[in-house]
Copies of this chain bind each other. A is one copy, B any other.
Amino acid sequence: MKNFLDLARAGPDLVAELVTLAGRLQRHPEPDALRGKVLGLLFMNPSLRTLASFQSGMARLGGDSFVISPGSSWNLEYLPDIPMTGAAAEHVREAIPVLASYADVLGVRAFAGGKDLVEDLSEPVFSAIEGLCSVPLINMESAANHPCQALADWKTMDDEQIPKANGRFVLSWANHPKPLPLAVPAAAAHMAAMRGMDVTVLRPQGFGLPSDLMQRIHTAANQSGGSVTETEDREQAMDGAHVLYAKSWSATDVYGDAQADRDLRAGLTGWTVESDWFDGADPSCIFMHCLPVRREVVVTGQVLEGPRSRVIRQARNRMFAQMAVLYRLLADKGD
């Protein structure tokens, strides 16, 4: 494994190995495995879980880390061939090789622009930087992907003994005051399909996942023996579900149009996950969400703190999943 950018590119065997390794590092700490190694973390967008779990995970393997957060006072350009007369003081074509020259592995976060769907789906920042990094590169959430979250979620489902074949995974859109990126829903549905589950994408009209992303999910399902369907019928979707994974995302039919997006979601206040959503689900059905989550908008506090919720375990598994990625990239390159 040279980089960790996408579960699809890693492939099911490596993903399974990483999940196993994450569990091993959780049970049997290796506090000296990455002694002397340095992890660079570049956040073009803010972070709580990702920063804390990467820094803590690297420390628990004996390594060190540094954090770079461009903010209000400076930005990084990623578009090619543009005279840089604006707010961006530096281009990723310099910044990435420089940071890579200080680090043994580099994590980068770069959210979607949220204006142009085709552009966001093309992963403009990661496309721009992938060839520039002389050390292993980790996707800490890109425009349309979040493989660290997906790996942690896979481990969480394994920990909870959620079935793979015939396991029913419902990714449900949920209400939210703002249009949010597609990275987590795309990564979660793809991961579940790759895990061999029967995936249902439950969402209102106007919020269908883009065909490119659905195609990726279908491909993963075809390879794993899983399946994928889309619906706006909650009852049908939740019937026998083993997992309800909630997440809000932008109205894809009016992507980039803030007013139209607001108008669409104004009528969707019923998409706050409540206890009765689970009425037809498998009795053991769990509730998942990547966090951060807006209480009483995305989901009620009752569900979040109820017996079905696994959101804190998911977040905790971010650390172990990422430790496995770091370990595999730096300590043990595998066969």
- Of the listed stretches A11-19, A87-95, A142-150, A205-213, chain B binds A87-95
Complex CA distance for A219 and B316, rounded to whole angstroms:
42
Write the nearest CB–CB distance from A37 to chain B, whole angstroms.
Answer: 9
Segment at the interface with B among A96-104, A166-174, A230-238? A96-104
16 contacts between A and B (CB under 8 A): A29-B36, A40-B52, A48-B68, A48-B99, A52-B68, A52-B98, A52-B99, A52-B102, A53-B102, A56-B102, A80-B301, A89-B294, A90-B294, A93-B295, A94-B312, A102-B316
Which residues 270-310 of A sit at the B interface, judged by CB distance below 8 A? 291-297, 301, 304-305
Tell me if A51 is interfacial: C-beta within 8 Å of chain B: yes
Of residues 25 through 42 on chain A, the ones whose CB sits less than 8 Å from some CB of chain B are: 29, 31, 35-36, 38, 40
In the bound complex, how far is the Cα of B305 from the Cα of A174, in angstroms?
A: 46
A17: min CB distance to chain B, Å: 23
At the interface, yes or no: A46 with Cβ under 8 Å from chain B? yes
In the bound complex, residues from chain B placing their C-beta under 8 Å from that of A60 are 36, 38
Q: Which of B31, B35, B80, B98 contacts A316 (CB 8 A)?
A: B98
Q: Is B83's CB under 8 angstroms from A297's CB?
A: yes
Give A295 Cβ to nearest chain B Cβ, in Å. 5
Q: Which A residues between 155 and 170 are near B, CB-CB below 8 angstroms?
A: none
In the bound assembly, the distance between CA atoms of A297 and B89 in angstroms comes to 11
Stoichiometry, as copies per complex, reads 3
Beyond A84-B295, A316-B102, whether A93 also contacts B301 by CB under 8 A is: yes
Contact B90 A291, beta carbon cutoff 8 Å: yes
Q: Which 3 A-B pairs have the closest CB atoms?
A: A90-B292, A59-B64, A84-B294
Looking across the interface, which residue of chain B has its beta carbon closest to that of A88? B294
**Are B56 and A103 neighbours in the complex by a CB distance under 8 Å?**
yes
A319 part of interface (Cβ distance < 8 Å): yes
Contacts A59-B64, A66-B56, A292-B94 hold; do A36 and B40 have CB atoms under 8 A apart?
A: no
CB-CB under 8 A from A73, the residues of chain B are 46
Residues on the B chain within 8 Å of A64, using CB: 55-56, 59
Least CB separation from A45: chain B residue: B73
A311 within 8 A of B: yes
Q: Which residues of B contact A177 (CB under 8 A)?
A: 85
Check: A216 CB closer than 8 A to any chain B CB.
no
**A40→B64 CA distance, assembly (Å):** 15
15 further A-B contacts with Cβ under 8 Å, apart from A48-B74, A90-B293, are A36-B60, A48-B68, A48-B70, A52-B99, A53-B102, A72-B72, A84-B296, A85-B294, A85-B297, A89-B294, A90-B291, A94-B292, A94-B311, A94-B315, A98-B291
B85 near A68 with CB under 8 A, answer: no
Complex-state Cα separation, A102 to B49, whole angstroms = 9
- Does A335 count as interface, using CB distance less than 8 angstroms? no
Q: Does A81 contact B (CB under 8 A)?
A: yes
State whether A95 and B53 are in contact (beta carbons under 8 Å apart), knowing that A85-B297, A102-B319, A293-B90 are contacts in the complex: no
Q: Which of A98, A103, A297 gathers most chain B CB within 10 Å? A: A98
Q: Which of B93, B98, B102, B312 contacts A98 (CB 8 A)?
A: B312
